[in-house]
Amino acid sequence: MAEFAPKVGGRGSALSFWLWKAVKLVLTVAVTFLGLLLITFLISHVMSVDPVLRVVGDRASQSTYDAMYLQMGLDKPIWQQFWIYLQKVLSGDFGNSFLTKKPVMGDIARAFPATLELATVAILIGTLVGVPVGVWSAVKAGKAFDQIVRVLGLVGYSAPIFWLGLLGLLVFYANLQWVAGPGRIDIAYEYSFTSVTGLMLLDTAMQGEWAAFGNAFSHIILPASLLGYFSMAYISRMTRSFMLAELAQEYVTTARVKGVPEWRIIWVHALKNAAVPLVTVVALSYAGLLEGSVLTETVFAWPGLGLYLTNSLQVADMNAVLGGTLVIGAIFVGLNLLSDLLYSLLDPRVRRRVRK
């Protein structure tokens, strides 16, 4: 779409650029979200689960079944059903969960903070470890350190996460007792603080409940480290690839000829340029964690979005499954668009390319 971008110069160019980005952002979000709604709507109609029986039960009379069938609007044309579905979703109404008997939106709002906390700690571990390791692996390309990092990355990226979770519980919880077991916090500390944000580490720290903070940290550190290891494997591999490309550029050779210190070439000049595409990698990794790491949350009995969706799938609770799917899709779309905006902010060449 670059050929349709505004061609203006001077002071108005920056304003025109960001206005154009805003218009594209709104259109992209609208079209993507509409497509996501359509897909989830069609999924709900091809599933073998009868939504009416989910409400009235399999022992209801035919008259009760027919009345609920009409009340749910299933007698209407498919396009009209989609319009009703669209209106409900846009108003935040995903229906009630068959499993909990509560509104799905409320269930997701209660489960999501646990996933958010777990994913945030995990992506911090993955990024803070993965980026330096990937940079140094590129610098030492082909040497022993690089080979070790690539092997560890391959293991982290390909090993079943549930197997690593079970192994971690066996070693660090059951045998060494270095960490707490499944769940977010022990019941002895559960009522020692007030939940404000739903993020236990933040809530306990703000209220000065350091014993509860330590217990919550002991619960989260093992699953977060495993997810962080998974993210680190991907982030370090991509960082290595980006850095190898940057270190082969002419500006690096020129800087070395001019006598610029090697550490400055690597950690300032090359990493700065590699950080631009790396933003997208980190954002998508974070989105993958926020979608609810189903197997990890199941193994560690972590009451987040992943466990909620797993339990809902087991009983064919389609309202909960579709609501969770929409939330996951919205997360991916939002973080992908955010990474695109950050990409433009970090790399002026993108703005110049759009304005041409």
Q: Name residue 103's beta-bridge partners.
A: 96
Domain borders along the chain are 2-90, 104-355
pLDDT at 354: 47
pTM (2 decimals)? 0.82
Q: Mean pLDDT, consecutive 10-residue segments, the chain of 356 residues?
A: 46 65 76 82 73 71 79 78 83 81 89 92 94 93 90 85 88 91 89 90 93 94 93 92 90 88 88 87 86 81 88 80 83 79 67 51
Closest C-alpha among 169, 190, 196 to residue 181 = 169
Maximum Cα interatomic distance, the chain, rounded to a whole number of Å: 87
- pLDDT tens profile 270-305: 888 888 889 888 988 888 888 757 788 888 989 988
Domain 104-355 matching CATH 1.10.3720.10: the answer reads yes
Residue 103 backbone dihedrals phi, psi, to 5 degrees: -60, 135
For the residues of 129-146, what is the DSSP string, one character each? HHHHHHHHHHHTTTSHHH
| Rounded Cα–Cα distance for residues 190 and 187 (Å) | 5
- pLDDT tens profile 82-127: 888 888 888 878 888 877 888 888 999 899 999 999 999 999 999 9
